[in-house]
Structures are given as C-alpha cells and as structure tokens.
C-alpha cells in the first residue's frame, strides 16, 4: 500500500495528456432513503423483507453450523467500508461530496456502481427482486441528479428471465434516463426437488446449453444504447463457502464469476451474433481474462471442428494396435486382449453424437484470430488500481497472437480495499514507473478503453461531461486512423 502524496498525484496529473475515467467506482447507498423508495414502489411489507435480508449476517451468527450449511450460508462481507477515514466514508455515501472531491482524487469522470444494490439480483422472489431493483434505481437517479458532468450511476438489471431484464432495462434507461447498467449474473437456479436447500443450486451463466436464450436482452441493450457490464460475486460457490473466514471466500471471487460469464457468452456465440456489442466484467482484474483467452485458443486448435476428427476413435488402426499390444504387452495385456475394443472406448465413445462434437459451433470461428478479435475488441476487464497483474493486458509478447486486452481502470473507491481515495491513481501509475507498461498503454487503461466500452453503444455517452471534448477528439482521431489504415498504399 503506497502512502498518499499530494505532490506525487499532482505530478502524475501534470504529466498526463488525457483525462482519467474511473470505470468502476462505488457508491454506498444511504439505506434509509432507499427504504423510502421501496415503500413508495412496493409497500411496507416488501421493505420489511429487505430489512431482514440486510440483517442476515447477524441472524446467521445465531444459527448452528449444520443449519447454516443447509441454508447455504457463508461468511459474508464484514467491516467492508471505510471507518477511520471518515471523510472517505461520507464521500462514498454522498454523490454531491464525491462530485466536489473528484479533482482532489485525480479523477475526471466516474461510473459509480452499487454496493448494497448488487445483492438485489440474487433475491429469489421475483416480485420482491423487481420492486427492490426499481427502488434502488430510483434512488440512484435521484441521488446523482445534478452530478452528470463528473458522475453517472449504474442501474441494477436482474437477469432471472429475459423478459424481466428487458422490462427493467426499459424502466432504468427509458424512464429514469440512466446511462450505465449492471446486469445480474450468473443466476443461481434451484435444482428440481431441492428448492428448500439454497446450497443446492446450479450456476446459469447464460452459456452454450441454451445459447440464444438471452439474445433478446443483448439486442435490447443495443437498441437502448447501453453496454452490458457484469459485477458478479462467486462467494458461496464451490470452495468459497467458509462459515468463518470472509477472506477465504472473497479472494478470487470476482474473477471466478467474471470468467464464468465471459466463457459462457463466448461459447454461446453471443459476441459472434452481436459483433458490435461490448461486454465488461468488473473488479476481477484481467489476468483471468488472459488465461481464458489462451485456453480458448489452445482448445480450439486441438478440439475445434477442423482438428477434433483426429481424436475420432473410429480412426484407430485396429490391426496396428493389436499387433503392438501383442508385441509389447505383458501377461495381463495378453490375457485380456479380447477386451481391447472395450478398453479403447473409455473416454473415447465411438457412438458420440456427431451433431455435438463441434463445441465451438456457436462461435462462428474460422481461425484462432477470431478469438483474438473478440478479446481485443469486445471484452473489457475491470481492474483495481493496486492489482499488480494489470500489466498482463498489455503484454503483447506473451498474449497469443499479440493480443492487447482491454483493461479498464476501476478504482473501487468506497470499499475497504481503498484506504485513501486520493491514492488510487498513484497506485495505478506504478505500472508506468516500474516500466511494466508504456504511457500509451496507461492512456488505454485509464481513458481510451472506457471510452470504447461506453460509446460503442451510445456515441453520446460523454456529452455534457467534463471529458466530452477529450472523448470527441479521441473518437475522431481513432476514426481517422482506421480510415487511413484501410487505404491502399499510394492512394
């Protein structure tokens, strides 16, 4: 943790030729005001339900271990917000104060994501979930009113069904005029016959088993001019179910949730069917993205439609393999040679459904370069300022096919891992000072990538903001460079 220096921050800002866009800061909701909105939207009974949900941590402590296991409970966030730094605690709760402090923090514009509101998309009851989501979104629209030059909040969009997502998109974007959205996902769905045991859930990450199920949602995002972002937690999944240790549950959880959604969308062919729609996976860093990108290329090269045939069991030369077993096999081999066909069928069923053997069939891939295009152009990765692995995004020597992944500076201000809001830009800039990334890559990280993410669906996203002119100049310059690169030499 680097101690904040006002002189150092001023020096960094003076050396930069571009604004700083924070792709993922956080607001800590003032829950009494949110509760008022819930009562206005859905009544006192729903508000009391939410009271119980946010009191779950205390109630869980009163349960025995067996009951907590059965209910699928785990050690959740605790002491998760600034305390000793009271100014930062107030700043996280008061959008107008955050607005005033933005120059002091070294930031020019920020997208503010929910804190308590992120839990809403996990609520089981549809009526409660939708009413509470609308109440939170009304709260965001009201509390950020007048802050649009420097701040914009992200609306909560539950994703339990495509119809629900579309209706809530309409409410947030059309009725409330919110410009940024965070989609719920993955969705934990009950297993048949085990509805009462919350621990018995399967993870629906909108993947290849039903590849087009949410296509109407992706199309609606395009129609409304919003870029889908995901800010999902994997606490409570798999091994992250400790009853006593939040750190154990928290480490890597955002990366796990982001990877599940990203992998699902890719193999479901969503980027292929919607080639102009960007997707952002927030707060998990980018190292997992580089790993997934490399793994997809490796699997495609060896298990894609063009190569999977080499693994077809029917291509085994039975005569040759029998002769080899006879020559090199010992007594146990010779004694069971009449069962050779059965042995060869393990993990190699010759009757595999041939219509299912191309597991990249939804992706529209002609070569590994098509994978590079998606990760280079459509996928974005939210990276906290102090993550030393952020430089992975820009390592074109190591990323296959020279890919440069689109990491987005995400301060996470408002939460426990930012002890001083004024230090986030200094921490991010350490990559440059250490020689891990260039100044151009730092510009991509803290400005250009966020611009691409948000203007891909809404070219006017930054109109009326502090960064409007810089964004316009950047977008026009990028268009000129693309046009120039398409011209034939000598024309």
For the cut 90, the answer to whether the pLDDT of residue 491 exceeds it is no
Q: Between 202 and 69, name the one with better pLDDT.
A: 202
Q: Provide the pLDDT for residue 490.
A: 53
Residues 452 and 477: beta-carbon distance below 8 Å: no
Residues 444 and 417: beta-carbon distance below 8 Å: no
Residue from 106, 89, 91 nearest 7 by CA = 106
For the cut 70, the answer to whether the pLDDT of residue 128 exceeds it is yes
- For 293-308, the pLDDT digits (tens) are 999 999 999 999 999 9
Q: Provide the pLDDT for residue 431.
A: 96
**pLDDT band at residue 198 under the 50/70/90 scheme:** low
Q: Provide the pLDDT for residue 480.
A: 87
Q: Provide the pLDDT for residue 65.
A: 82
For the cut 60, the answer to whether the pLDDT of residue 195 exceeds it is no
Taking residues 169-186, report their average pLDDT. Answer: 97
Tell me how far CA of residue 477 lies from CA of 412, 470, 487, in angstroms: 30, 10, 16
As a three-state string, the secondary structure of 95-160 is HHHHHHHHHHHCCCEEEEECCHHHHHHHCCCHHHHHHHHHHHHHHHHHHCCCCCCCEEEEEEECCC
**Percent of the chain whose predicted confidence (pLDDT) is above 70:** 97
d(CA 430, CA 186): 33
Taking residues 184-195, report their average pLDDT. Answer: 81
- For 50-71, the pLDDT digits (tens) are 888 888 777 777 788 888 887 7
Q: Provide the pLDDT for residue 4.
A: 87
Q: Provide the pLDDT for residue 92.
A: 98
| Long-range pairs, 81-90, Cβ under 8 A, ≥24 | 81/28, 81/115, 81/414, 81/415, 81/416, 82/414, 82/416, 82/418, 82/419, 85/419, 85/420, 88/413, 88/414, 88/418, 88/420, 88/421, 89/28
Q: Provide the pLDDT for residue 54.
A: 82
Residues 139 and 50: beta-carbon distance below 8 Å: no
Q: Provide the pLDDT for residue 52.
A: 86
Mean pLDDT of the chain: 94
Q: Between 164 and 350, name the one with better pLDDT.
A: 164
Where in the chain are all domains bearing CATH 3.20.20.140?
18-303+371-486
Q: Within a 13 Å sphere around the CA of 391, how many CA atoms are in the beta-carbon half? A: 16
As a three-state string, the secondary structure of the chain is CCCCCHHHHHHHHHHCCCCCEEEEEECCCCHHHHHHHHHHHHCHHHHHHHHHHHCHHHHHHCCCHHHHHHCCCCCCCCCCCCCCCHHHHHHHHCHHHHHHHHHHHCCCEEEEECCHHHHHHHCCCHHHHHHHHHHHHHHHHHHCCCCCCCEEEEEEECCCCHHHHHHHHHHHHHHCCCCEEEECCCEEEECCCCCCCCCCEEEECCCCCCCCCCHHHHHHHHHHCCCEEECCCCCCCCCCCCCCCHHHHHCCHHHHHHHHHHHHHHHCCHHHHCCCCCEEECCCCCHHHHHHHHHHHHHHHHHCCCCHHHHCHHHCCHHHHHHHHHHHCCHHHHHCHHHHHHHHCCCCCCCCCHHHCCCCCCCCCCCHHHHHHHHHHCEEEEECCCCHHHHHHHCCCCCHHHCCCEEEECCCCCCCCCCCHHHHHHHHHHHHHCCCCCHHHHHHHHHHHHHHHHHCCCCCCCCCCCCHHHHHHHHHHHHHHHHHHHCCCCC
Taking residues 144-158, report their average pLDDT. Answer: 98
For the cut 90, the answer to whether the pLDDT of residue 180 exceeds it is yes
Q: Provide the pLDDT for residue 487.
A: 61
Tell me how far CA of residue 272 lies from CA of 15, 226, 423, 443, in angstroms: 40, 18, 39, 28
Residue from 369, 363, 352 nearest 311 by CA = 352
State the CATH architecture for 18-303+371-486.
Answer: Alpha-Beta Barrel (3.20)
Q: Provide the pLDDT for residue 111.
A: 98
Question: Taking the model in full, what pTM does it have?
Answer: 0.94
Q: Provide the pLDDT for residue 479.
A: 87
- For 392-451, the pLDDT digits (tens) are 999 999 999 999 999 999 999 999 999 999 999 999 999 999 999 999 999 999 999 999
- For 309-339, the pLDDT digits (tens) are 999 999 999 999 999 999 999 999 999 999 9
**Percent of the chain whose predicted confidence (pLDDT) is above 90:** 85
Taking residues 152-170, report their average pLDDT. Answer: 98
- For 352-399, the pLDDT digits (tens) are 999 999 999 999 999 999 999 999 999 999 999 999 999 999 999 999
* 464 exposure class (CB count in 10 Å sphere: 0-12, 13-18, 19+): exposed
User: Which residues are registered as beta bridge partners of 380?
Assistant: 280, 406
Q: Provide the pLDDT for residue 475.
A: 95
Residue from 238, 231, 190, 230 nearest 214 by CA = 230
Q: Provide the pLDDT for residue 488.
A: 54
Instruction: Report the relative pairing of strands 151-157 and 109-113 from DSSP bridges.
Output: parallel
Q: Provide the pLDDT for residue 2.
A: 66
Q: Provide the pLDDT for residue 482.
A: 80
């Amino acid at each position: 943790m680097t101690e904040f220096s006002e002189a150092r921050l001023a020096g960094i800002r003076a050396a930069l030729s571009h604004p700083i866009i924070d792709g993922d800061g956080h607001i800590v909701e003032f829950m009494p005001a949110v509760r008022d909105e819930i009562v206005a939207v859905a009544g006192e009974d729903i508000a009391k339900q939410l009271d119980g949900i946010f009191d779950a941590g205390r109630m869980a402590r009163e349960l025995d271990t067996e009951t907590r296991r059965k209910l699928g409970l785990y050690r959740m966030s605790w002491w998760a917000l600034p305390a000793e730094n009271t100014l930062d605690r107030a700043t996280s709760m008061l959008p107008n104060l955050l607005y005033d402090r933005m120059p002091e923090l070294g930031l020019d514009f920020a997208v503010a994501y929910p804190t308590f509101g992120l839990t809403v998309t996990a609520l089981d009851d549809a009526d409660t979930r939708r009413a509470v989501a609308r109440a939170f979104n009304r709260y965001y629209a009201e509390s950020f009113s007048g802050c649009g030059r420097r701040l914009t909040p992200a609306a909560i969009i539950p994703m339990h069904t495509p119809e629900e997502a579309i209706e809530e998109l309409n409410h947030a974007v059309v009725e409330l005029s919110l410009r940024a959205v965070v989609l719920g996902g993955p969705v934990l769905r009950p297993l048949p016959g085990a509805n009462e045991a919350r621990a018995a859930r399967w993870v629906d990450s909108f993947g290849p088993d039903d590849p087009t199920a949410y296509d109407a949602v992706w199309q609606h995002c395009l129609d409304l001019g919003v870029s889908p972002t995901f800010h999902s937690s994997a606490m409570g999944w798999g091994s992250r179910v400790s009853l006593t240790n939040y750190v154990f549950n928290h480490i890597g959880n955002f990366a796990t949730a982001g990877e599940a959604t990203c992998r699902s969308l890719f193999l479901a062919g969503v980027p292929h069917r919607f080639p102009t729609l960007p997707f952002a996976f927030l707060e998990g860093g980018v190292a997992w993205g580089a790993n997934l990108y490399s793994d997809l290329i490796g699997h495609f090269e060896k298990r894609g439609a063009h190569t999977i045939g080499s693994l077809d069991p029917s291509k085994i030369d039975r005569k040759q393999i029998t002769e080899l077993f006879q020559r090199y096999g010992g007594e146990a081999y010779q004694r069971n040679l009449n069962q050779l066909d059965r042995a060869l069928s393990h993990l190699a069923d010759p009757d595999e459904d041939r219509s299912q053997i191309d597991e990249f069939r939804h992706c529209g891939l002609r070569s590994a370069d098509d994978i590079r295009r998606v990760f280079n152009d459509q996928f974005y990765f939210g990276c906290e300022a102090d993550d030393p692995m952020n430089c992975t995004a820009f390592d074109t020597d190591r990323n296959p096919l020279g890919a440069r992944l689109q990491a987005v500076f995400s301060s996470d201000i408002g939460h426990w891992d930012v002890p001083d809001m004024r230090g986030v830009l200094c921490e991010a800039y350490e990559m440059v000072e250490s020689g891990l990334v260039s100044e151009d890559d730092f510009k991509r990280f803290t400005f250009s990538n966020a611009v691409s993410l948000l203007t891909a669906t809404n070219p006017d996203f930054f109109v009326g903001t502090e960064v409007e002119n810089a964004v316009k100049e950047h977008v026009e310059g990028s268009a000129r460079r693309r046009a120039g690169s398409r011209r034939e030499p000598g024309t």
